[in-house]
Structures are given as structure tokens and as C-alpha cells.
Structure 1
Amino acid sequence: MASRTPESLIDSHCHLDFDEFAPDRDELVQRAFAQGVKGWVIPGVTLQQSKELLAFTLPVGDVFFALGLHPYFLAQHQDTDLQLLDQLIEMNHARIVAVGECGLDSSVGDIDRQTRLFEGQIHIANHHQLPLIVHHRQSHHLIAQSFKKAKPKQGGIIHAFSGSLQQANYYRDLGFKLGIGGTITYERAQKTKNVVAELPLDAFVLETDGPSMPLNGYQGKRNEPEQLVRVFESFCSLRAEPKMDIAAALARNTFEVLGVEISS
């Protein structure tokens, strides 16, 4: 019997609130929903944007929020933002599924300040018993150093994972899932493909990171919500299990790490 695309997928990381989606956001979301993408996790990147996320809605599907301070926006973060983020999560705890997008990015600079903000967010996540959504760029070794000083207690997701099998197992031992996106559609991404093929299904969740991280063949274009279906197809091509079993496992994984499941 021929396999079929599952009816339900969750995008564990998509910036649907960004201005790039403003002109046609509802249309894009409805098209993705019709193709089986039924839920989205939208991360915070600054304190102000995290506040605004709490009023964000979509015409269809389920939307979940993480609140955080992204290293890429380091210049926008104030010294008081950690305390205010903690308070914001306290006041809206029932609506928040994770702390993040947080992490360390070697392309930004001022690693010391990034580290203080990152470790501060780990402490916030631990205090509120929430998982983390962790950004990395040439910084796995720095993240490991921070995890020694401030060990995450609830795990989380390593967003856009592209590391080695050894790094993957390190994160898994700490309770993290690996966020897999459009990277695996590129021929050059053999290391990441090997991780997807080698580890058990319970290691992964899917994501787009839209509007960023376009898939192979879509370079230079906005990464849109429906592309999660293509990420799923590429993921399945690296696995031996039936598609429906993979989809069910990915949904379980997302629920396990973030506590989210779709109602549609």
C-alpha cells in the first residue's frame, strides 16, 4: 500500500509574527493548514516582541508561545530584561511552553554578555519548570560550558541542529530534542543527515524557522509555513519507518518536550 502524507504536523519553530509574513500571513497559514501543518510554536526574540506575542493569533491551527531573548538581537536587550522576562512568564505561565529563543552565537560578538543572558534564561526556565529553545552558531562548546554552570532541568529543543552524532547524544542526555529543518534538503548536509538516520525517532522534532533557513531550491526566498511538509518528506527519506509512524513519533516528541499537541 502506498504511503501517504500525515494529516497533522507541528512546526516547533516558526517566526510567524515577523514582518516578512505581514502581507499574506493568513493566506500562507491556511494553505499550510490544508497540507497538514496544524500547529506552530512561535519563539520570542526580544522582550518587547515577547510581550506582543501574547496577543498574536492565527486564522486556523494551534499557536504556542515561547518567550526569550535571542543573541542575534543583543543590541536591543537591556540589563533589566532578564528580570522583566521572568515577570512576564510568571504572569502568563499557563500560555508559555518554553523559554527562548535563547542561546549563543559566535557571529554576534560580546560572548560574555551573551553568556550572562543565556545562563540567566536557563535559570528562569528552571525556576518556572519550562524547557529551553536553544539557538547556536559555532557555539556548541560554549553552550556546553554554560550548561555546566547552569544545568537545564527540563531539557528543550536544540534549534536547527547541525552537529555531530557525539554532540547530538550529549544534548539528548540532557533531555533535549533536536530541531530538524530545511538543512537536510541540501546535499552538503551529510553530517546532519547521518544523525537523522542513526538516532532513534524519539530524538527529533521538525521546524522551518520561517521566514529564515530556506530549503534547497528556494534559496533567497522567504521560508513559508507549508515548507514543513517538504522537511517532513526529506526526513522520511532518511528513515526506514512508515511515514505515518514517523509523523506520530514526531507529534509525541513535541508533546513530550513542550507539552503541546494540536486540537485540530
Structure 2
Amino acid sequence: MLGAGKLGGMLIDSHAHLDSYDDLDSVLTRARDEGIGTILAIGIGDGPETMHQALAIAKSHVGGPRIFASVGIHPQEAGKATGEALGDLARIARDPLCVAIGEIGLDYYHFDNPDIATQKAAFIAQLKIASEMRKPILIHCRTSELAKPEAKAKYGDADAWEDLLAILAEHWPAANGGIMHCFSGTPEQGVRSIEAGFYLSFAGNLTYPKSDGIRQAAMAAPADRILVETDAPFLAPIPYRGQRNEPALVTHTAGLLATLRGLTPEALAELTTANFHRLFPTTLDAPVR
């Protein structure tokens, strides 16, 4: 068995890159067998030209788990956020199965990423579309603090978290909502994110030995603002760290989060599922197709 045990079909993987799998049918079968009821497929592709793939999966998949999609231009691809690409994004976002815009945000970790001004412009443009579409957003935020020296030299003293929160304060009212995907910030950044109207979604790195700050944030967050995810195929939780991740393994992250918060796995599954449906109400009664 891959996961930590079935949880009555209640668990939701709030962030998985399903278009990364050549064996998707097998991946989804294992997810279903582990009690994963819903997956949010992330529509960034390998860039704007393939950001439609997650919605295509959501529209074509038949049987459990239920699949919904997002669409967005990742900050690493911000230089491709042309008028045409943003128009394609808006068109994809109109589909009812596309429930969010993302993952979008800022990434100062890799030297090859676009410059800060380009990333900010692409981020703000997508915030505008999300606001017009009344869709929540999925945030990617990665600082240069732990990056290689060349990336630190490129981005200097700039802080992706501070830049991100400043943009959100100006362009994204808290009532619009969204998710801090794969939350990896400090407890204080978690508090500020929640004050800005966001949910914190915890991925496999919650289980890593050096993730004390993330675990502190996970324990401190209000019960109605926590979610779980895989970020599959990345960030497999212990004991699968270093291997390919997949939605079935979200049970491990959920199990640790339950322990940290003094809950049973079943209670944690019920809680995070209710939180997901509150943020994405159109997913609540959507039938399995």
C-alpha cells in the first residue's frame, strides 16, 4: 500500500501536476484506492502553450477521483505572459471545471528565472484576470535566500515574500481568497498570509526533518485555513522522499498534519475537505463523471 490508509474518500489533494504523468490512469487508480476523493490539477504545463492540459484531463477523466483544474503562467515563465497568452488563459479560465488561477507568484530562487520586474508584471496581469473571473488564486512564492550564489547576486536583497505580500495588498482584496501552495514560509509569514485572505496548503516537505518552521506554521494556523497537497510529482513525503510523488501519497502529509494538530486522520480529512469546498464552492456538489 502506498499511502497511510484509506480515509473514507474524504481527502483532497489540492495541488497536483497530473499532466506530468505518462501512466496517469494507474496514478489515479492508486489515488482512488487510497481514499483520495478530489484532485485539483494544476494548469501551468511547460509554459503557456501547454497550460490547457490540466483542464483537458479534468474534462476527459471519467470515474473517481473527481478532478478540477487551474490555469496560470508560472513565474519561471513570466517572460511568456504576452497578450496572446493572457487571452488564452482567460479563455481557459471561463470553463466551469477551471476553478482557480495558478500557480502564479514570484520566484527568486533560480538564476535563469525572469527579472523581478517581468515577474511582477505577469503576476499582476493574472491577478486582474482572476479578479474579473472571480476565481481564487494559487500562489507560488520562493525566495532567493537558499539559492545558489549566482541567483543571490541576481536578485540581491529582494525578498520574494515581502514583494508578494505588497502586491497582494495593492491588487488582491482579502475577500477574493486563494491558497499559499506548498506553504514553506515562516510562522509569521503564515499569519500574514491568512490575514490577507489565504489558506495554507501543506505538502510533503512538512514531513522533512529540517522543516520545523513549516510545522510550527501548520500547528498555529486556524483550523478553517489549512489544506493538504502533494505538488506531485515533486516533494514526495517521508518515507518516499526522493522518489516520484503522486496523489495517493497525500495521506502521509495529512497523517502528520493530523498528529501535529491533535486530530485523528479522519477528522483532519473531514476538516481539510470542508475547507477546500468553502474556497471552491462549485466543487461541493459536482458529480463524479
Task: State whether TM-score is above 0.5.
Answer: yes
Q: Does 1:229 align with 2:251?
A: yes
Within 5 Å, give how 1:96-107 maps onto structure 2. Answer: 96-107=98-109
Question: Which residue is equivalent to 2:32?
Answer: 33
Distance 1:217 1:243, change over 3 A: closer
How far apart, CA to CA, are the structure 2 residues paired with 1:229 and 1:256? 21
Structure 1 stretches of at least 4 aligned residues deviating more than 4 Å after TM superposition: none
Q: TM-score, normalised by structure 2?
A: 0.82
Question: Which residue is equivalent to 1:55?
Answer: 56
Identity of aligned residues (%): 27
Where 1:226 maps in the other structure, the secondary structure is helix
How far the C-alpha of 1:230 sits from its partner, in A, is 0.9
RMSD: 1.9
The answer to whether the 8 A contact 1:66-1:98 is kept is yes
How far apart, CA to CA, are the structure 1 residues paired with 2:236 and 2:132? 35
Q: Does 1:142 align with 2:146?
A: no
How far the C-alpha of 1:112 sits from its partner, in A, is 0.7
Question: Which residue is equivalent to 1:11?
Answer: 13
How far apart, CA to CA, are the structure 1 residues paired with 2:18 and 2:88? 23
Within 5 Å, give how 1:113-262 maps onto structure 2. Answer: 113-138=118-143, 139-152=160-173, 153-259=175-281, 260-261=283-284
Give the counterpart letter for 1:235 in structure 2: L
Q: TM-score, normalised by structure 1?
A: 0.90
Deviation string, structure 1 residues 86-113 (Cα, Å, up to 9, x no partner)? 23323x2x22211111111002231111
How far apart, CA to CA, are the structure 1 residues paired with 2:272 and 2:242? 28
The answer to whether the 8 A contact 2:41-2:70 is kept is yes
Deviation string, structure 1 residues 138-191 (Cα, Å, up to 9, x no partner)? 121110121133124411000010112221121112221001010111111001
Give the counterpart letter for 2:13 in structure 1: D
How far apart, CA to CA, are the structure 2 residues paired with 1:148 and 1:9? 31
Where 2:15 maps in the other structure, the secondary structure is coil
Question: Which residue is equivalent to 2:157?
Answer: none
Give the counterpart letter for 1:113 in structure 2: T
Unaligned stretches of 5+ in structure 2? 144-159
How far the C-alpha of 1:51 sits from its partner, in A, is 2.4
How far apart, CA to CA, are the structure 2 residues paired with 1:258 and 1:140? 25
Give the counterpart letter for 1:195 in structure 2: A
The answer to whether the 8 A contact 2:16-2:229 is kept is yes
Where 1:13 maps in the other structure, the secondary structure is strand
How far the C-alpha of 1:79 sits from its partner, in A, is 4.4
The answer to whether the 8 A contact 2:235-2:242 is kept is no
How far apart, CA to CA, are the structure 1 residues paired with 2:106 and 2:276? 23
When the two structures are aligned, how many residues end up with a matched partner? 256
How far apart, CA to CA, are the structure 1 residues paired with 2:240 and 2:264? 27
The answer to whether the 8 A contact 2:41-2:69 is kept is yes
Unaligned stretches of 5+ in structure 1? none
How far apart, CA to CA, are the structure 1 residues paired with 2:277 and 2:51? 22
Q: Does 1:112 align with 2:132?
A: no
Question: Which residue is equivalent to 1:83?
Answer: 87
